[in-house]
Amino acid sequence: MPTDSLPGDSLPAAEQPVGSIAGEPKRPILIVLHQERSSPGRVGQLLIEKGYPLDIRRPVLGNTLPATLSEHAGAVVFGGPMSANDPDDFVKAEINWLNVPLKEKRPLLGICLGAQMLVRQLGGKVQANPQGLSEIGWYPLRSTDKGRRLIRWPKMVYHFHSEGFDLPHGADLLAEGDVYRNQAFRYGDHAFGLQFHAELTRAMMHRWVVHGAHRFILPNAQQGREHLEGRMLFDAPLRAWLDEFLDLVFEGKPAKTASLGKAMLSA
């Protein structure tokens, strides 16, 4: 299976610990990336720490996606510079492929573009804000009642997008924002979509700020300094949330903070 190191991160894939509660090796998580130098970042780091090998594939470079996830513990589909509406064959093929984890009821997490592709597979629309506003930088996040029953959500999250998505029919909205309302959803028991990015390491954010600076002129985008300052203020709770959220998605573990959320609802 293809593997990658995690550029700018401290734990290379070659040092993946593999194990499970029963002592058997865990099946790998399929990692779908959309650029040659993309990294699974902190999601990859945390999954490795939890004992999952990573099977990294890049369909944009010609890597094929498996016809079944029977040999995988689940999949994460990451973001990228393209749109889920693009006519490229690999975009259409990847959207169609998402029916595999949905049909097999395998854990699936879509992040930004990955969430938008999932929405397209589920029959929803992906489009820009009517006023042309972007979310590039740190913006507030509000959990819904259903979201709070699952986990306690961070109050500020990091974005880098200028399109959002409809809530697919049958999906539960878990968190919402101001400019793009639909920020996190759950479809069935196994599929999750996030519009925001919790996976960025510090090195990744520095690269995004440098290479994405041309997008800071977009309406509502924050400047690079605000991205880095926001990280110092908001990243610690975002990382803690991601750690628990991955347990929820891939192991079905109730979040430690879920009981707090339920208590807040009943108060």
Q: Is 227 a catalytic residue?
A: no
Active-site entry in 34, 161, 190, 197: 197
Helices (H), 161-223: 202-211
Q: Is 226 a catalytic residue?
A: no
DSSP string, 133-172: --EEEEEE-EE-HHHHHH-PPPSEEEEEES-EEPPPTTEE
Tell me the C-alpha distance between 250 and 184, whole Å.
Answer: 16
Q: CA angle at residue 75 from 201 to 127, to 5 degrees? A: 75
C-alpha torsion sign, points 66, 167, 183, 49: negative
Q: How far is CA 79 from CA 49, 59, 106, 112, 265, in A?
A: 22, 13, 20, 5, 33
Q: Is 159 a catalytic residue?
A: no
Tell me the C-alpha distance between 26 and 141, whole Å.
Answer: 33
Active-site entry in 72, 112, 190, 244: 112
Active-site entry in 72, 199, 227, 244: 199
Structural contact between residues 28 and 20, judged by C-beta atoms closer than 8 angstroms: no
Give the end-to-end CA distance of the chain in Å, rounded to a whole number. Answer: 49
Catalogue the active-site residues.
112, 197, 199
